[in-house]
């Protein structure tokens, strides 16, 4: 058996609060935010469908200018890894925190930095240092429009 492992997280959800950027003592930017993801489940007792929400804390390093775009309610794509860390609280009690350390964050819902002419720029994207860059998206081919809308996508 190979000794490989995978720690990969992909989230698409909505920001639960505005992102906050702080700086470490050495001046490295650390941006934190939370992402809400929803799923529909059927209640086993009533048979009714209901939504359940999971909240995920995300940390993004070295992207100090991104926080201004990450505002509560906006939809984001986050790609990264799960990390659990521990620290001592003010009562000297050991506390564990599990969070996603983001490699990529892409704003999916509207708005970006305004251009000089007043038009909106494409959504900002962050990429961790050394991460591979994906090739630019191909132009969308609309020659075979089948009437599929966002409502047809299951997520």
DSSP calls for 42-75: E-TTT--EEEEEEEEEEEEES-TTSTTT--TT-E
Q: How many CA atoms lie within 13 A of 85 on its CB side?
A: 11
The pLDDT tens digits along the chain (155 residues) read 578 899 999 999 999 999 999 998 998 989 999 999 999 998 888 889 989 999 999 999 988 778 888 889 999 999 999 999 888 888 999 999 899 999 999 999 765 543 222 223 334 444 444 444 444 444 444 444 445 455 554 54
CA distance 153 to 132: 28
Residue 70 lies in a domain: yes
Residue 3 lies in a domain: no
pLDDT of residue 132: 45
Residue 151 lies in a domain: no
Q: Which domain holds residue 115?
A: 9-130
pLDDT of residue 151: 54
What does the block give as tokens for 145?
């429009």
Residue 150 lies in a domain: no
Domain of 126, CATH number, reads 2.40.50.140
pLDDT of residue 69: 87
pLDDT of residue 38: 92
CA distance 71 to 34: 10
Residue 154 lies in a domain: no
Residue 115 lies in a domain: yes
CA distance 68 to 15: 13
pLDDT of residue 1: 59
Model confidence, pTM: 0.63
Residue 36 lies in a domain: yes
Domain count along the chain: 1
Residue 67 lies in a domain: yes
Buried b (16+ CB within 10 A) or exposed e, 40-56: eeeeeeeeeeeeeeeeb
pLDDT of residue 110: 66
pLDDT of residue 138: 43
């Amino acid at each position: 058996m190979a000794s490989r492992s995978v720690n990969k997280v992909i989230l698409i959800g909505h920001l639960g609060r505005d992102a906050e950027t702080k700086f470490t003592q050495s001046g490295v930017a650390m941006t934190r935010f939370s992402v809400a993801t929803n799923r529909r489940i059927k209640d086993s007792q009533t048979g009714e469908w209901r939504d359940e929400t999971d909240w995920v804390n995300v940390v993004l390093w070295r992207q100090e200018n991104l926080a201004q775009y990450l505002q509560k309610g906006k939809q984001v794509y986050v790609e990264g890894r799960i990390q659990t860390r521990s620290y001592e609280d003010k009562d000297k009690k050991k506390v564990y925190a599990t969070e996603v350390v983001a490699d990529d964050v892409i704003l999916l819902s509207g708005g970006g930095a305004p251009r000089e002419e007043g038009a909106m720029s494409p959504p900002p994207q962050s990429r961790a240092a050394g991460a591979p860059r994906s090739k630019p998206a191909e132009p969308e081919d609309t020659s075979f429009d089948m009437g599929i809308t966002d409502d047809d996508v299951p997520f």
